[in-house]
Amino acid sequence: MASYRLGIKRSAAKELEELPTKDRRRITRKIQQLGDEPRPPGCEKLSGHERYRLRQGDYRILYEVDDTDRLVTVVKIGHRSDVYR
């Protein structure tokens, strides 16, 4: 299976930079793994959007998958209590 390219919105990159170092490393690892498997076990499709959610501790990674261009775009990263707002 060919790998997907990874993209991250500027706002999501800023959210990632504001996280504690320990959590930032874990989330970065999860994002890199999306290039090999854009729909890993444990991901969940969000209703009402063409987006997926991936859990990492108390944080959530929201992303979109474009299969025709083989591109995964991280849209939002945040704490589980307010990431869906």
In a domain, 74, yes or no: yes
For residues 57 and 62, what is the distance between their CA atoms, to the nearest angstrom? 14
CATH number (domain holding residue 27): 3.30.2310.20
Tokens of 37: 């498997």
Cβ proximity of 15 and 52 under 8 Å: no
The parent domain of residue 36 ranges over 5-79
Q: Examine residue 37 and state whether it is found in any structural domain, yes or no.
A: yes
- Residue 39 domain flag: yes
Q: Is residue 27 part of a domain?
A: yes
pLDDT digits over 1-39, tens only? 569 999 999 999 999 999 999 999 999 999 999 999 999
Q: Looking at the domain assignment, is residue 84 inside a domain?
A: no
- What's the domain count of the chain? 1
pLDDT tens-digit series, residues 37-79 = 999 999 999 998 889 999 999 999 999 999 999 999 999 999 9
Residue 85 placed within a domain: no
